[in-house]
Amino acid sequence: MSDSLPDNRTPLQSALLRLIEAELHQQEARSPTAGLFDAMRTPAQFLPALAIERGVSDWFPEDSLQARRNVTTNGLVIQSKSCSRYGLMFALSALGVEAEITKTGRPYELKLVANLPDAQLDEATSRRIIARINTYKAERDIVALELVRAAEVALYTAIYAESGVVSDCEPWAPALRSDDYGVYHAVVGEVYIISDSEAAIR
């Protein structure tokens, strides 16, 4: 209704209009389509269709659900930045790969160092990364790929000493976790005192 015209609705009409608007808002909030076009919230069965709409070219059903959601969310950006170093890094980040891309000095040749913080360093991971690179790199570019898996190594040093009449202690050993890699040094000192003398008699 135009602001220049007076509101000639009756109180009943105004109340009904407010009631209808409130009900519509509640229906929209409960609607299953509220997050349908959000790749992070949409049901997994709708992801392939949403990926097609976003222009995702490199779609592997074997990827983790989070990786598929990431590439679908950023599909338009990845597609628009493809054939560039930034586009390659962005596409690989959707797989959970930290990429560093530098020029080698030769025309159309790039060196790509892919750090795998969580993924396994195996043949399947290599094929998956190569497939994504080939999808989003420029056709003329040659990419030299290096896969890197970092690990933390800790150095421990300990000194253990014990004195006693009879000692049967075992050498010191650290408590290791299955994913703990380390170099350990230990110094163990033991003093044994064995006495068979008789007590003094007055």
Q: In which region does residue 44 sit, left (phi positive, over 0), alpha (psi from -120 to 50) or beta (all else)?
A: alpha
Q: What is the DSSP string of 8-55?
A: ---HHHHHHHHHHHHHHHHHHHH-TTTTTT-TTTS-GGGHHHHHHHTT
pLDDT (tens digit per residue) in 32-53:
666 788 899 888 998 999 999 9
State residue 199 phi and psi, 5-degree precision: -70, 150
Least confident of 41-50, 97-106, 144-153, 174-183: 174-183
Q: Does the pTM exceed 0.85?
A: no
pLDDT (tens digit per residue) in 74-118:
998 998 888 888 989 989 998 888 899 999 888 989 999 988 887
